[in-house]
Amino acid sequence: ALLVGVVPADALVGSGVLPGDDGWDPLDLSTKDYFKQVQSFILSLVPERKYRIGDDEVPEQEPEAGAAMPTVGFVGEEERPPALILRDYREAEIRHGRLAMLAAVIWPLQEIADRIFIPESFGSMTIIYGGPTLPVAPLLMTFFMLNLGYLDIYSSEIKENESGDAFLPGECFWDPLAIMEGAPDSMKRNMQEREILNGRASMIAVAAYIFEEGMTHKPVISLAANDLLFEPFFLVPFVQAWLDTQFGSVSYIDPGI
């Protein structure tokens, strides 16, 4: 990826090279390859696959006792450029952001559907603690996650057979509406920044949903603090009070008089 310029070698936190870079990394996590180390550790727990040795295959030679081995990260791992480490972290951020954007919309839709179709049990059910509900959120999230999983398999095949390591963070090689086809680089960067910023805001929103329902045991759409988000503007109590003070004394005059 560095050689073909997909991920610039100077793409570090604070460089402004990658979209959505605010230059904030107080713990300097972007230079620590925990992602690859954890991945390698998990793979090391999987039993090694045994292959039959054919006539034209040469068995892999075992390393000699006392032979020097790389010591960076886990055994057998080579140190990677910081730009590729940051690329993997950005990939994980984009994936989590996409799921969070779906959850931030589907979560309140679930509770709105419950309030409309099963009002007798509304208020006793929350996403966190469960209760009588319609299967809106489980079915929609399952549908989207299955499709995202298929998209991951599709993009991983392209990465393995064609692009290799030369891919942008979050790249799925899938644009059925051809939105980005022929778009200038500035437009592509703006779209990437908007996706990242919306994903970050959605992750914060989902965390707020979890905190609110966990502390109050009530649906998020029924909390007074969220009226502006989930209720028509003219039905919010303090907005109604303000409208009454402004227009409550206005009387209707029949134009025919």
CA distances (Å), origin 253, targets 91, 122, 248: 63, 42, 14
pLDDT of 51 > 70? The answer is: no
Concatenate the DSSP letters of all residues of 7-44 into one string: S-TT--TTS--STT-----TT-GGGS-HHHHHHHHHHH
CA 185-190-196 angle, 5° bins: 125
Beta bridge partners of 130: 126
Please name the residue that has the structure tokens 């949903």.
Answer: 209
pLDDT tens, residue by residue, 229-253: 888 888 888 888 888 888 776 555 5
- Going by pLDDT thresholds of 50, 70 and 90, the confidence category of residue 49 is low
pLDDT value, residue 198? 95
- Going by pLDDT thresholds of 50, 70 and 90, the confidence category of residue 62 is low
| Residues 182 and 175: beta-carbon distance below 8 Å | no
pTM of the model: 0.71
For residue 11, count CB atoms less than 10 angstroms from its CB and return exposed for 0-12, middle for 13-18, buried for 19 or more: buried
pLDDT value, residue 15? 75
pLDDT tens, residue by residue, 144-182: 888 888 887 887 777 777 666 666 777 777 777 878 788
DSSP 8-state assignment for residue 2: T
Higher pLDDT, 149 or 96: 96
pLDDT, mean of residues 59-81 = 49
Higher pLDDT, 208 or 130: 208
